[in-house]
Amino acid sequence: MLVLHGHPLSTFVMKVEMALYELGTPFEFEMLDLGDAGHRARFFALWPLGKMPVLQDTDRGETVPETSAIIEYLETWYPGRIALIPRDPDLAWRARLAQQIFDLHVQVPMQKIVADIMRPADGKDPIGVADARAALGRALDLVDRQMAERTWALGEVFSVADCAAAPALFYADKVQPFAASHPAAWAYFERLKARPSFARALTELEPYFHMFPG
């Protein structure tokens, strides 16, 4: 049995949920409440770094953290309806690179902006936020150029990169709306929202979205 530990608000949890739905792989979802001391202790015993999501494979006795590793694990041991990491070696490295663009260059500055919203008034970091907004803008510029002639991140092939892109762009739009400034990136985001796997993740997010800061 596969158990995904996480919270629906997490972009990285959404990424793995999308992958599981795309693969058609059955799993159970274990909701994390890190504000509960007992729940927190159990999760840190499972994964000492305490970062979600974590995939637990009770049949194989494996605990797998980090989204990229989780999806590689699923592709190896639980292959499904599609190959999220293409079999073609050139497409495979391109998929991994595109995944990193969304994980590191869209998500990281977006999370910096969100974290600053949560800080008290005397702890704000305006210079850091300005740098993050500039970095996010550059990443969106790149995505906009690349998606001008593509359906998905790799072209016509849906991949792990699109699982990374969907939640990253969803939250990026909340902190730095890009519909008018980056039309190709926005059109790509609209296609992602219409994808059943992402639509399902968004539906599961709805009851908790009021918790998103700002």
Which CATH number, 3.40.30.10, 3.30.420.40, 3.40.950.10, 3.40.390.10, labels domain 2-77?
3.40.30.10
Beta bridge partners of 54: 5, 65
Q: What is the pLDDT of residue 3?
A: 98
pTM: 0.96
| pLDDT at site 28 | 98
Give the model's pLDDT for residue 35. 86
Tokens 């494979």, located at residue: 57
pLDDT grade, residue 36 (50/70/90)? confident
The ranges of the chain annotated as CATH 3.40.30.10 are 2-77
pLDDT computed for residue 34 by the predictor: 84
Backbone φ, ψ for residue 57 (5° rounding): -105, 100
**Which CATH number is correct for 89-195, 3.30.1490.20, 3.90.1170.50, 3.40.50.2300, 1.20.1050.10?**
1.20.1050.10
Residue ranges of the chain that CATH labels 1.20.1050.10:
89-195
pLDDT reported for residue 95: 98
Nearest Cα neighbor of 96 from 159, 155, 145, 189 is 159
For 47-69, the pLDDT digits (tens) are 999 999 999 999 999 999 999 99
